[in-house]
Structure 1
Amino acid sequence: MTLLTALSGQPASITHSAPGQYQRLYQQLYGEAQGAEEIARDFLLAQLTQMRDAASDLPEMAEQLPAWVEQRCAQVAQAYADYLEQRQQGRPRRYFQNKAHALYFLQHVAPTKQVDGAWLNGLLRYWHAPSFDGLLTTYLEELGDGEAAQNHVVIYRKLLNEHDADSDAGLEDVHYLQGALQLALGLCAEDFLPEIIGFNLGYEQLPLHLLITAYELSELGIDPYYFTLHVTIDNASSGHACKAAQSVLSLLPLGEGRADFYRRVAEGYRLNDLGPGTTAIISGFNLQDEVVAMLERKRSFGQHMHSDYCRFEGKTVNQWLGQPGQIGAFLQALEDKGWIKRNQDPAESRFWQLIEGAGAAMFGVFSGYEKQVLHDWIAGDWISDKRVPPVRPGRGSRFSREQQRPTDPDTQALVDSLCNLSDQQQLNALIPWMSARRHCTPAGLYATRRFIQLRARLR
């Protein structure tokens, strides 16, 4: 037997190492653990202290914010036009070397994307106050107004699932920092309202990287809808960027405390810089390192799964996999023996034939993302004659009403619990179902739609 059962096929989503401090915090806040608000408050105070002296490009006066937003948008538009011109002149992609690189990025930003909008969750209690309209509209639109096909978290999970890239393997603790921060803000609205407004102001501005990411994902055959949706919804004319600036002005005190409130807005704005950003995550990808790291994570599951018939450089496969730190040399041994033919069609490599195709001996061992990493590493400079057509942004229609039927037990229980309540009591009962953890579930989607109906009726 050769490399027939190199790895055990352990599900890639299982994380075996102990979570770090940010991942633990993320899990506590997302899971609505007992004492989560106090934990969130302490965390926010520590992060605000850390960022207090950081630079900020906010204008000195809040009244200058609308013009500031418009200017930023114009600068991004010009930079994107320059990018498109460079691409038309034959320049390569700026961000993603290959599809594996793009999927790596989608995985590593997932902890943040899967709590999209969470910083505004605590403001639902202000549903009756007109000054909060812009912020609440933003949050409800993040939730897709209760439609699964437009709910940002549902869309992102669908994107990961389509490419079998929903694993958290390989993520570092720091990748949970920004998501934990957003969850913490959502739990502490009463104590950190100016900071939430400031954070929202920064997060909802249209960044250049969003436009480029959407363009290059499409080129690589990955649906960019999650990103194009944010391009349209964050516009400076009438979208979230505009609403974010207007919300600062609407909630800014008119008299005493005005300066201190805006100072705290600026501190919240700076929280956007915590954790690795989009371009930092993208630049942190190295295909060779990712191949080795991925196989190293799988190594322990396959180290006793092989016979001793096949040897490479005098070692059996079990021996190669038996000790950490040998994966790089093992790959070189496979290449030296002709099992891997770099910079050629991966289908010509015996190793790839064991992984992919009808009757492949290691079928199911690697996730879709892991296979893409191996494929692109073997292919190297080789380019397929088969062109990948650009993907037009989709809308995930099959994730709409079919997931929102009241046959779901949680949804039916929620509907039943509302029967004898007044409209205002219903609103208050619905709010917990619109949290970061629940809003993307069938019951959460129903709660969002019902919340919108009742709010309109009571206004």
Structure 2
Amino acid sequence: MTALTRLESRPAHEHPIGGAGCIKQIYQQLLLSDDAQQRHVLAQRFLQTQLQRAADLPDELPQDLSALQDFVEQHSLAVARQYADYLQQRKEGGPRQFFSNKAHALFFLQAVAPTKLVDGAWLYGLLRHWRDPRFEGLICTYLEELGEGNPAQNHVVIYRKLLAEHGLQDCAAIPDERYLQGAVQLALGESGDECLPEVIGYNLGYEQLPLHLLISAYELSELGIDPYYFTLHVTIDNASTGHAQKAVQSVLQLLPLEGDREAFLRRVALGYRLNDLGQGSRAIIESFDLYAEVLDMLERKRPFGQHMHSDYCRFEGKTVNQWLSTPEQLPGFLAALENKGWIKRHQDPQASRFWQLIDGDGAAMFGVFSPYEKQLLHDWIAGDWVPERSTATPRGSANGAVETSVPVNDPDIQSLNSALAGVGAHEQMQVLIPWLSAHRHSHPAGLFATRRFIELKSRLR
């Protein structure tokens, strides 16, 4: 079992490292703080803790460097065989293996958002080595994560668009531990000098193609959700010419010629194991409980709705406001709606009066629930009901709707242009690099800076 396979199947509870909100707070400080020194100190402290945890995990990298390329290729071949088996099972009429319904898929997309929204961040700290050809593969990988400045290819832009399309921007519902991998990536990006071997190792592990990426893309498309973010990674992470191959080459190119090579490789292996920390994709998928998610969603909305309903309508002797007065009553409230016939489980949701109140332009509660919240309610009401004909329209992978124009009057672009004016090419690179950070690169000025960085890098070789 490879490290990435084990990551996919790991249980949902893994080594808490602080109180409630601790990891999310670290994540946000590493992403948003303008104090570079503060970010650096925090990153070092956080990484020390995570590396200690990773040291307790099995080391699966081959000891012989000459076997590294074969190790990666064998992993890729194993994933291909497993995916072929999956496709054959589906062809024979087997059910989806990941997502029981659309709400399940949207739950997954939101749960992994903290990691996807800092995609590639672990490589940010290496940009200052742009003149060193040994770093070419790693820097090329990072720039491709940034879409080389094209918003239609920038991974964070694509994922933000996907979240917005399905009303998944509310991060309040994301548990603290699901920020761990994103925080690790941000911390590595702040520690490129001190933790170069660990960055190389983490990159080697992360850029191998996992099986869950292929299955996710297939099943998202079936459910009418654009899979482009996932299919894009399938193509660029390949072990032949893609990021996985570049990751192997980077280990060989940056290995010291006369220094302590064994110590360097031990640190590479430790960085590789950082990928195993936190919840894996499969564990997140398997943790989904539709009824529990419906109750959690209603509890988040309950404080805003408990005083907003009239006393006209009563269920089992209680007004809606009374039912919403405490979270303990929410299961009983749903049961009362069923008993009253307002919710008809395991039928077309359109037959339920409650659904008619929240869906449609003329609905009395139009706009109260986000698209994701409505999907939770829809799929819970529908239960084991299956429509005669699926209304989901499979999405293509062109992702052509991403806006590609750059705002001419964007104040950040104007400010950046002013900073670049009259400055030599080498000095411009130093001005541009901060705009390629995880927090900035997906914004218009960051996209502009990425294109300019690539242009100057090519010219100054």
What are the within-5 Å matches in structure 2 for residues 42-121 of structure 1? 42-121=45-124
1:174 to partner: Cα distance: 0.2
> CA–CA distance in 2 between the matches of 1:163 and 1:314?
36
Paired AA for residue 456 in structure 2 = L
Structure 2: gaps of 5 or more residues: 1-18
> CA–CA distance in 2 between the matches of 1:391 and 1:57?
38
> CA–CA distance in 2 between the matches of 1:298 and 1:389?
30
Residue 180 (structure 1) aligns with: 183
Residue 241 (structure 2) aligns with: 238
- CA offset digits 1:191-250 (Å, max 9, x no partner): 000000000000000000000000000000000000000000000000000000110000
- TM-score (norm. length: structure 1): 0.94
- TM-score (norm. length: structure 2): 0.94
Residue 399 (structure 1) aligns with: 403
1:255 to partner: Cα distance: 2.4
Residues 19, 448 of structure 1: alpha-carbon distance in 2 compared, 3 angstrom cutoff: farther
Paired AA for residue 38 in structure 1 = V
> CA–CA distance in 2 between the matches of 1:69 and 1:372?
39
**Secondary structure at the counterpart of residue 328 of structure 2:** coil
Residue 419 (structure 1) aligns with: 421
Question: Which among 344, 351, 354 is matched to residue 354 of structure 2?
Answer: 351
Residue 215 (structure 2) aligns with: 212
1:389 aligns with 2:390: no
Comparing 233-242 with 385-394, which one deviates more in the overlay? 385-394
1:307 to partner: Cα distance: 1.4
- CA offset digits 1:235-290 (Å, max 9, x no partner): 00000000001100000112231000000000000000111111011001011111
Residue 224 (structure 2) aligns with: 221
What are the within-5 Å matches in structure 2 for residues 6-405 of structure 1? 20-34=21-35, 35-387=38-390, 388-400=392-404, 402=405, 404-405=406-407
1:33 to partner: Cα distance: 4.3
Question: Does the 8 Å CA contact 1:120/1:196 hold for their aligned counterparts?
Answer: yes
Paired AA for residue 48 in structure 1 = L
Question: Does the 8 Å CA contact 1:223/1:394 hold for their aligned counterparts?
Answer: no
Question: Does the 8 Å CA contact 2:152/2:400 hold for their aligned counterparts?
Answer: yes
Q: Which runs of 4+ in 1 moved over 2 A?
A: 385-390, 394-398
Question: Does the 8 Å CA contact 1:344/1:380 hold for their aligned counterparts?
Answer: yes
**Secondary structure at the counterpart of residue 325 of structure 1:** helix
Paired AA for residue 30 in structure 1 = L
Residues 343, 199 of structure 1: alpha-carbon distance in 2 compared, 3 angstrom cutoff: same
1:51 to partner: Cα distance: 1.3
Residue 13 (structure 2) aligns with: none
1:383 to partner: Cα distance: 1.4
**Secondary structure at the counterpart of residue 354 of structure 1:** helix
- CA offset digits 1:356-391 (Å, max 9, x no partner): 013101111100000000000001111122322322
Residue 452 (structure 2) aligns with: 450
Paired AA for residue 456 in structure 1 = S
Residues 386, 127 of structure 1: alpha-carbon distance in 2 compared, 3 angstrom cutoff: same
1:32 to partner: Cα distance: 2.6
Paired AA for residue 454 in structure 1 = L
- CA offset digits 1:385-433 (Å, max 9, x no partner): 2322322212335421x2x233211111111211110000000100000
Paired AA for residue 413 in structure 1 = S
> CA–CA distance in 1 between the matches of 2:165 and 2:304?
25
Comparing 389-398 with 69-78, which one deviates more in the overlay? 389-398
Question: Does the 8 Å CA contact 2:134/2:253 hold for their aligned counterparts?
Answer: yes
Residue 436 (structure 2) aligns with: 434
> CA–CA distance in 2 between the matches of 1:382 and 1:100?
15
Paired AA for residue 22 in structure 2 = Q
> CA–CA distance in 2 between the matches of 1:30 and 1:427?
21
> CA–CA distance in 2 between the matches of 1:151 and 1:101?
26
Residue 9 (structure 1) aligns with: none
Paired AA for residue 127 in structure 1 = W
Q: CA RMSD in A?
A: 1.1
Question: Does the 8 Å CA contact 2:307/2:321 hold for their aligned counterparts?
Answer: yes
Question: Does the 8 Å CA contact 1:63/1:249 hold for their aligned counterparts?
Answer: no
**Secondary structure at the counterpart of residue 399 of structure 1:** coil
Question: Does the 8 Å CA contact 2:130/2:457 hold for their aligned counterparts?
Answer: yes
Question: Does the 8 Å CA contact 1:206/1:234 hold for their aligned counterparts?
Answer: yes
Question: Does the 8 Å CA contact 1:26/1:183 hold for their aligned counterparts?
Answer: yes
- CA offset digits 1:42-92 (Å, max 9, x no partner): 000011011112112211122211111111110000000000000011110
- CA offset digits 1:170-190 (Å, max 9, x no partner): 211001111011000000111
> CA–CA distance in 2 between the matches of 1:321 and 1:162?
29
The count of corresponding residues between Structure 1 and Structure 2 is 440
Comparing 110-119 with 355-364, which one deviates more in the overlay? 355-364
